[in-house]
């Protein structure tokens, strides 16, 4: 594996304090078995899965409990053995917020009994069946986006470069770093399996420079694989370089157009955790049952990374890490920049949950009162998406949808850089997040009213055409009658005959 340093600097971004020392001080904790599982039927971007178990049924570790019925979906498995207690609606964290969705609730029996060996399907030869195995194995993007991996590896787009994303730039989150240190060979293997599926000529593993142990482990694994298509790019530690668009630009110099996904211009990004999951599925027949979760913050007794069964209630995971400590201000899912506060710790860890922060009062940004924008331009300099946040702010507060479009609201990745740097303490990201909802609603209404107008116009045109057709017919008959004497006589006689018949009918009825 060749190591190289891209000569480009990321656009915008910030150098932030890492807060990762405590959680990386010990290896990933393994072997944790929860007492309960709450398995959401929809833990991915796409249609929900369909349950295939009943209340009271005993399930084994690795057993499918909900099947993917659509291409853009991913199956759900029992991550430990136990009995199905209920199938009901619960609150579950998703990418940007908590939502209510159908869940399978399992009471674990503590035996953690797996499916018998060979019960899982073997890795097929045919690429199409391989994609189906990945879908049936429940694998989704573990970087947080939870896009079904099989969909992303499909043959729809030619892939120039497969990018394995090990850029974990958010403060507090260290699950990928620890996985790269401890399972570099497995990650490289998973990356090569995906490269083959995509027939990509090149594969770049991207890692930040502040992760020397991960870099060393990956280089060694890359060399051992002997694969010449692999390269390792060490990149500067600037938040948010780990965003797909930012990373593609940083590595290749190509800007991803705002209306496109990176895959549409030939770059497929997969997280290191996803590569590891693909390796486990192909080499050990194991579906996605667990993920590494960083449990961090001053409000946790023992901050660490834990290999956590999917569906574990957050409260049980915190208990495994020694419970809460001191005065916890809030519980945040995700990093301190892009994560969000949870209402309680009863919700489960899902496939997309990478970090849990029990933040003490001292770790939380104080609520300063907002002041006027002084147009200092700091936010524009920090914006990795090359936006003008101060202009977006004005457009959002004026509800000016045309201007929001013009200033590229939808390109905002809600990274929070503008917030952090703003001397007037304006909650810019929150304003943009709300504006996106309002803008999407406005666009839907616009589309609806355009369609309604179009339907009305079509209806009017049809009516006009019908009237015209009637007129044309009358004209045609009149013309034929006037120009054709025998036809005219015939028409007169027919009319006289009709009148005579009517009269005789009237006389009969009298
Ligand atoms: S950083 Fe804040 S004060 Fe400065 S231009 Fe941006 S919004 Fe205005
Ligand atoms: S939150 Fe949006 S506008 Fe603000 S810096 Fe990030 S991408 Fe730019």
Structure confidence at residue 3 (pLDDT)? 82
Give ranges for CATH 3.40.50.11540 in the chain.
2-28+126-309
Largest Cα separation within the chain, whole Å, is 113
Q: What is the pLDDT of residues 229-240, one digit of tens each?
A: 999 999 999 999
Given ligand 1 and candidates 14, 372, 373, which is best to mutate, with the most ligand atoms within 8 Å of its CB?
A: 373
d(CA 217, CA 6): 20
Partner residues linked to 2 by β-bridges:
231
Q: Is 24 helix (H, G, I), strand (E, B) or coil?
A: coil
What pairs with residue 208 in β-bridges?
235
Return the closest-CA partner of residue 108 out of 51, 31, 38: 38
Strand 2-4 to strand 36-40: parallel, antiparallel, or no bridges (unpaired)? unpaired
> Per residue in 50-66, pLDDT tens?
999 999 999 999 999 99
In terms of phi and psi (left: phi > 0; alpha: psi -120 to 50; beta: otherwise), the region of 374 is alpha
Q: Which helix (H) or strand (E) holds 464?
A: helix 428-483
Residue located nearest, by CA, to atom 7 of ligand 1: 390
Distance spanning both ends of the chain, measured CA to CA:
110
> Can you give the pLDDT at residue 446?
87
* Residue-level pLDDT at 193: 97
Q: How many CA atoms lie within 13 A of 355 on its CB side?
A: 31
Residue-level pLDDT at 121: 67
Q: Whose CA is nearest to atom 8 of ligand 1?
A: 373
Strands (E), 336-430: 340-341, 355-360
Residue having the nearest C-alpha atom to atom 3 of ligand 1:
373
The residue contributing the CA closest to ligand 1 atom 4 is: 376
Hey, CA dihedral for 383, 385, 390, 396, is it positive or negative? negative
The closest-lying atom of ligand 1 relative to the alpha carbon of residue 421 is 1
| The ligand 2 atom nearest the CA atom of 385 | 7
Ligand (nearest to CA of 432): 2
Kindly state if the Cβ of 390 falls inside 6 Å of ligand 1.
yes
Query: In Å, what is the CA distance from 67 to each residue of 64, 77, 291?
Result: 7, 9, 20
In the structure encoding, which two tokens stand for residue 3, read together? 């190591």
Mean pLDDT (10-residue bins), the chain, 510 residues? 82 94 97 98 93 98 94 94 98 91 97 85 87 95 92 86 96 98 98 96 96 97 95 95 93 90 94 98 96 97 98 98 94 94 96 96 81 96 96 96 95 95 95 93 89 91 90 84 76 84 74
Find out whether 238 and 10 touch, Cβ atoms under 8 Å: yes
Question: Which residue has the least CA distance to atom 5 on ligand 1?
Answer: 375
pTM: 0.86
Pocket of ligand 2 (CB under 6 A): 382-385, 387, 389, 412-418, 428-429, 432
Which residue's CA is minimally distant from atom 6 of ligand 2? 415
460-477: b (≥16 Cβ within 10 Å) or e: eeeeeeeeeeeeeeeeee
| Residue 222 CB less than 6 A away from ligand 1 | no
Tell me, in angstroms, the distance from the centre of ligand 2 to residue 325's CA. 33
* CA 409 to ligand 2 centroid distance, Å: 9
Closest atom of ligand 2 to 389 CA is: 3
Tell which one of 242, 382, 418 to mutate to probe ligand 2, the residue whose CB is within 8 A of the most ligand atoms.
418
What is the predicted pLDDT for the residue at 259? 86
What is the Å distance from ligand 2's center to 245 Cα?
Answer: 13
Give, in order, the Cα–Cα distances in Å from 284 to each of 10, 79, 122, 272, 292. 38, 15, 9, 18, 18
Ligand nearest to the Cα of 433, by number: 2
Centre of ligand 2 from the C-alpha of residue 332, in Å: 20
CA distance 203 to 224: 16
Q: For a ligand 2 pocket test, name from 428, 431, 434, 435 the mutation site with the most ligand atoms within 8 angstroms of its C-beta.
A: 428
Which residue's CA lies nearest to atom 1 of ligand 2? 414
The percent of residues above 70 in pLDDT, for the chain, comes to: 98
Q: Say how far apart CA 496 and CA 229 lie, in whole Å.
A: 96
422 lines ligand 1 (CB under 6 A): yes
The CATH T-level fold of domain 2-28+126-309 is Rossmann fold (3.40.50)
Q: Which of 14, 380, 388, 389 to mutate to test the pocket of ligand 1 (most atoms within 8 A of CB)?
A: 389
> What is the average pLDDT value for the chain, to the nearest integer?
93
């Amino acid at each position: 594996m060749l190591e190289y340093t891209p000569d480009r600097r990321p656009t915008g971004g910030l150098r932030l304090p890492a807060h990762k020392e405590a959680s990386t001080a010990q290896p990933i904790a393994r072997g944790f078995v929860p007492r309960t599982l709450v398995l959401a039927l929809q833990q991915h971007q796409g249609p929900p899965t369909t349950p295939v178990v009943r209340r009271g049924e005993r399930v084994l570790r690795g057993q499918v409990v909900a099947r993917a019925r659509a291409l853009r979906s991913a199956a759900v498995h029992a991550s430990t053995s136990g009995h199905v207690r209920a199938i009901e609606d619960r609150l579950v964290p998703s990418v940007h917020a908590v939502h209510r969705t159908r869940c399978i609730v399992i009471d674990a029996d503590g035996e953690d009994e797996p499916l018998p060996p060979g019960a899982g399907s073997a890795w097929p030869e045919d690429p199409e069946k391989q994609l189906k195995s990945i879908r049936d194995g429940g694998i989704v993007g573990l970087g947080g986006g939870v896009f079904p991996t099989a969909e992303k590896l499909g043959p729809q787009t030619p892939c120039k470069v497969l990018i394995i994303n090990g850029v974990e730039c958010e403060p507090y989150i260290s699950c990928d770093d620890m996985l790269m240190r401890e399972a570099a060979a497995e990650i490289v293997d998973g990356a090569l399996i995906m490269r083959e599926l995509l027939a990509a000529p090149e594969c770049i593993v991207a890692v930040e420079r502040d992760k020397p142990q991960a870099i060393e482990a990956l280089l060694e694994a890359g060399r051992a694989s002997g694969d010449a298509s692999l390269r390792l790019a060490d990149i500067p530690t600037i938040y948010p370089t780990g965003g797909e668009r930012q990373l593609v630009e940083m590595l290749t110099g190509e800007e991803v157009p705002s209306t496109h996904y990176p895959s549409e211009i030939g770059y497929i990004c997969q997280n290191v955790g996803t590569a590891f999951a693909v390796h486990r599925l192909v080499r050990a027949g194991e579906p996605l049952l667990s993920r590494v979760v960083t449990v961090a913050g001053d409000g946790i007794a023992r901050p660490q990374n834990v290999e956590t069964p999917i569906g574990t209630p957050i409260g049980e995971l915190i208990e495994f890490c020694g419970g809460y400590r001191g005065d916890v201000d809030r519980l945040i899912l995700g990093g301190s920049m892009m994560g969000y506060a949870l209402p309680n710790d009863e919700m489960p860890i899902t496939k997309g949950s990478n970090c849990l922060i029990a933040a003490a009062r001292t770790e939380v940004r104080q609520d300063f009162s907002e002041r006027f924008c002084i147009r200092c331009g700091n936010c524009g300099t920090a914006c990795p998406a090359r936006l003008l946040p101060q202009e977006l702010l004005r457009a959002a507060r004026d509800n000016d949808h045309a201007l929001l479009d013009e200033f590229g609201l939808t390109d905002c990745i809600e990274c929070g850089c503008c917030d952090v740097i703003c001397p007037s303490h304006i909650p810019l990201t929150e304003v943009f997040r709300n504006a996106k909802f309002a803008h999407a609603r406005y666009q839907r209404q616009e589309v609806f009213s355009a369609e309604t107008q179009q339907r009305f116009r079509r209806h009017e045109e049809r009516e006009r055409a019908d009237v015209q057709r009637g007129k044309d017919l009358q004209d045609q008959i009149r013309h034929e009658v006037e120009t054709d004497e025998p036809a005219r006589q015939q028409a007169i006689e027919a009319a006289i005959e009709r009148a005579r018949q009517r009269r005789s009918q009237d006389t009969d009825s009298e």
